[in-house]
Amino acid sequence: MGVSTHSTTGSRIGTNKNITFTGSGEFANGWTFGILHTMNDAMSGQSSSSMNISMGGIITIAYDSGTGGYGANAVDNIVPTAWEEVDAGFATGLTDVGAVSKQHGVINITAKAPGSGSALSLSYVPRFGASAVADGGTSGDSNTAQYGIDAVLDLWNINTTYFGLRTGAAAEKVSHQNCRDTATAPKLVQENCIGQKGDAYAATIYQTLRVGPLSAGFQATYKDPGTAGGIENNQAYVAGVALTVGDTISLSVGKGYDEYYNSSFGNSTEGIRARDVIVLDVDRDEFISARYWGYSASINLGPIALKGYHNKARAMGGSYDSNIHNGRAIDRSEVNLSMAF
């Protein structure tokens, strides 16, 4: 991966060293199952694991520990790309959903309607922020949050050879111990309490369309972290188009916009700087806009794939640091060569 020319992070060449074990099979009644276990890049332990049972392709029950392949995390950004998304490579990307279903120890149940691809998925994690638990182990304590739930509804998800259409929405809730829970007289708690003011919520809607080799998509997300002061909420939008030539070449371009409402800024210097750079309304100092844009490409030749992306970001994370960025966008790029045997 490469970064801006004024940054130095060591060697620009590396290799992925994960090891993944997968398995699948079928029961006597026709139900199927699948398992996956992945060792982390440092070979110091398990990074993710999942198991699922599919009941005729209509009902699927799954246990997921870190893969994020179920629930809202699976639809956090479904805008078509040739490889990576427009916020890939940055420490802080576009605001999205999936905080619940990317946790360790998630239980998911998904029901799909035959034909149209309509589906409803529900995910639940009983201990938020906890690490993976081994057989017979205990989860330990975590102060991140208490529990989380999310839901995904695909109104339709059609995917044929020459046409594709997907429309849906997702929502999630993360339960926190907040000011009202700990107050002596909850009814008298003031709005400017310090700490966690309430539970965290997020929701997203998405639409994709594919006609022949052309694909396009749009997604909008709203998130309220429930904190007292600081970032009160985010509104994020991302759109992109992709061109796929057979099974060989893919090209894509996209753009994302993430507006932060930070009540701590007001008329502060940081708020004004961010406002001036991103060109927002002069009366909206608390609103800071992060912007992401970029392109990606991939070439697949049998067992060999060559992929790359180049992305740029401005006011990443809803902040502006003139000492680092000097008012300019920062960029990230990566070229990846993979071989399958």
Question: Which distant-in-sequence residues (6+ apart) come within 8 Å of 78 by Cβ?
Answer: 166, 206, 208, 217, 219
Q: From residue 146, how far is each of 60, 134, 328 by CA, in Å?
A: 26, 20, 40
Q: What is the per-residue pLDDT across 144-154, written as a single tens digit (0 to 9) for each?
A: 678 999 999 99
Q: What is the per-residue pLDDT across 172-230, written as a single tens digit (0 to 9) for each?
A: 999 988 776 666 655 555 555 667 888 999 999 999 999 999 999 999 999 999 887 78
Residue with the larger pLDDT of the pair 267 and 139: 139
| % residues pLDDT > 70 (the chain) | 79
Q: What is the per-residue pLDDT across 235-244, written as a single tens digit (0 to 9) for each?
A: 999 999 999 9
| Residues in a beta bridge with 215 | 210, 242
pLDDT of residue 146: 83
Paired tokens of 161: 């050879």
**Beta carbons of 109 and 182 less than 8 angstroms apart:** no
Q: Give residue 278's pLDDT band: very low, low, confident or very high (50, 70, 90).
A: very low
Residues 52-74 have a mean pLDDT of: 94
Distance CA 93, CA 326 (A): 20
Domains of the chain, start order? 2-339 (2.40.160.10)
Residues 257-276 have a mean pLDDT of: 62
Q: In this structure, what are the phi and psi dihedrals at residue 112, rounded to the nearest 5 degrees?
A: -115, 140
Q: Are strands 231-245 and 46-55 parallel, antiparallel or unpaired?
A: unpaired
Q: Is 215 helix (H, G, I), strand (E, B) or coil?
A: strand
**Beta carbons of 32 and 24 less than 8 angstroms apart:** yes
pLDDT of residue 44: 62
Q: Is 151 helix (H, G, I), strand (E, B) or coil?
A: strand
User: What is the residue-wise DSSP string for 37-68?
Assistant: EEE-TTSSSEEEEEEEEEETTTEEEEEEES--
pLDDT of residue 173: 96
Residue with the larger pLDDT of the pair 265 and 272: 265
Q: What is the DSSP letter of 82?
A: S
Half-sphere exposure of 57 (CA within 13 A, CB side): 5
Distance CA 141, CA 256 (A): 36
Residue with the larger pLDDT of the pair 175 and 323: 175
pLDDT of residue 143: 60
User: What is the residue-wise DSSP string for 272-339?
Assistant: HHHHHHHT--TT-TTEEEEEEEEEEEEEEETTEEEEEEEEEEESGGG---HHHHTTS-EEEEEEEEEE
Name the average pLDDT for the chain.
84
Q: What is the DSSP letter of 130?
A: P
pTM exceeds 0.75: yes
Q: Is 99 left (phi over 0), alpha (psi -120 to 50) or beta?
A: alpha
**Beta carbons of 98 and 82 less than 8 angstroms apart:** no
**Beta carbons of 106 and 71 less than 8 angstroms apart:** yes
Paired tokens of 299: 């070439």
